[in-house]
Amino acid sequence: MPSAFLRQACLIAAIAFVPAAARAETYASSAGPLRVEAVARGLAHPWALAFLPDGRLLVTERPGRIRIVGRDGQLSTTLTNVPKVHSGGQAGLLDIAVDKDFANNKTIYFCFNGSADNNVAVVRARLDAEALKLDDVRTIFRQQGPAGRANVACRIAQALDGNLFVTLGDHFGAKDLAQKLDNTIGKIVRIRPDGGAAPGNPFADRKDALPEIWAYGLRNAEGLAFNPADGKLWEQEHGPMGGDEINIIAPGKNYGWPVVSYGVNYDGSIVGTGKQTAEGIEDPLWHWTPSIAPSGMAFYTGDLFPGWKGSLFNGALKFQLLSRLEIKGGKPVKEERLLQDLNERIRDVRQGPDGALYLLTDSDDGRILRVTPAK
């Protein structure tokens, strides 16, 4: 007899969205023609997707709304009890994640700019999906350091032990603080589900460092995901003018911003030392120069695209495409650029329980797109 977990997994895998009434479009790829259908539309700059165990979707809108998307593509009204969001520029309501034990605790996490100073806050809440509301809403973590409305970052990834990894941007004007450990500007933090510093963090015993810091020297990380092949944490971030990066994040490591970069400043001047690498700084596994402005990342493990298993998908805002990186030996070795004729800024990419790829388009009439093989 299969376990209850396996029975549930089989049930979820059988769930598929019924796309909203709209013309499907077909695009070429190495896996054959791709069918792209709109699951939902009419979203104001949607930022992140997260699947609920029953196959429905949570979606955030940057101005400050969280909605549930039914399997028929219908958008709910805005969930109530969402904290006030200070949106503007790149700031607003950002990533959202469903707790690994959601079936029992109904817990979700999301991050947003929750005050006039634009520092990022991480919130824990219980979702009442039927009443369309949040209960027991608590801010569990707040970024420390001067902030602004650019390079906000904020992606959330939950580890198997339940602890949360959160990316925190340099807010553009405070970039030099990314190299200092007395703040959380330009950092990845590792926190418990209640927001405290997780045990075993690399700087916990240093008096000159904040105990929640896991890694530092980051600019604007808008992608974060665990590689299911080996459990390592991968991160993707915007460079300045050139030098967008893919990194494997390890405890206590320095990822170089703003000392080294494969890009240059927007005025053409050099970044930091003017070098691309330096001793004591981790080199990226991959970089994009010129910048594609990557956002959202997902490793593919489904069966709809068997030839793409293990690939890493990244959305792109500036270049308006979906990037597929082929991974061999734990490193990206080749890129395939997909959906370039879609002409949409892709903010997030997730694999659905049905094995399809789900994308968010970033506009004032944003859409959720479902990508499957064309038949």
- Per-residue pLDDT reduced to its tens digit, 143-163: 999 999 999 999 999 999 999
**Cβ 179 vs Cβ 217: under 8 Å:** yes
Dihedral angle computed from the Cα positions of residues 302, 305, 307 and 312, in that order, rounded to the nearest 10 degrees: -60
Q: Is residue 118 part of a domain?
A: yes
Q: Is residue 275 part of a domain?
A: yes
Q: Is residue 56 part of a domain?
A: yes
Nearest residue to 36 via CA among 250, 346, 353, 299: 346
Which of the four pLDDT bands, split at 50, 70 and 90, describes residue 16? Answer: low
Cβ neighbourhood burial of 329 (10 Å; 0-12, 13-18, 19+): exposed
**Containing structural domain, residue 228:** 32-373
Average pLDDT over residues 235-261: 98
Q: What is the pLDDT of residues 70-89, one digit of tens each?
A: 999 999 999 999 999 999 99
Q: How far apart are CA 71 and CA 48, in angstroms?
A: 17
| DSSP state for residue 182 in the 8-state scheme | S
Q: Is residue 164 part of a domain?
A: yes
Q: Is residue 281 part of a domain?
A: yes
Q: Is residue 88 part of a domain?
A: yes
Q: Is residue 159 part of a domain?
A: yes
Domains: count for the chain: 1
Residue 115 confidence (pLDDT): 76
Residue 9 confidence (pLDDT): 41
Q: Is residue 3 part of a domain?
A: no
**What is the Cα gyration radius of the chain?**
20
CA 243, chain centre distance (Å) = 19
Q: How far apart are CA 253 and CA 202, in angstroms?
A: 9
Q: What is the pLDDT of residues 306-316, one digit of tens each?
A: 999 999 999 99
* % residues pLDDT > 70 (the chain): 94
Q: Give the CATH number for residue 331.
A: 2.120.10.30
Mean pLDDT over each residue of the chain, to the nearest integer: 94
Q: Is the pLDDT of residue 263 over 60?
A: yes
Residue 20 confidence (pLDDT): 52
